Amino acid sequence: MLPIVLYNGAEPRTAKTDLADLIDPSLPPQLRRWQPQLRYLLSE
């Protein structure tokens, strides 16, 4: 699977490219093992 985001806005895209960056960082250590990690390719 290769997730791709095509962006053609006037301003540079500033959104996170990794799903893990969007999850609350205070996740208990015993749950971090199952934290989803998915990075997408951004094509501007």
Quote the domain boundaries for residue 36.
4-43
Q: Measure the CA–CA gap between 13 and 43, rounded to whole angstroms.
A: 10
- Whole-model pTM? 0.51
Alpha-carbon span 15 to 1, nearest angstrom = 21
Domain count within the chain: 1
What's the pLDDT at 33?
83
Please write the tens of the pLDDT for every residue from 1-44. 778 888 888 888 888 888 888 887 788 888 888 888 888 877 77
The CA dihedral of 5, 18, 22, 16, to the nearest 10 degrees, is: -60
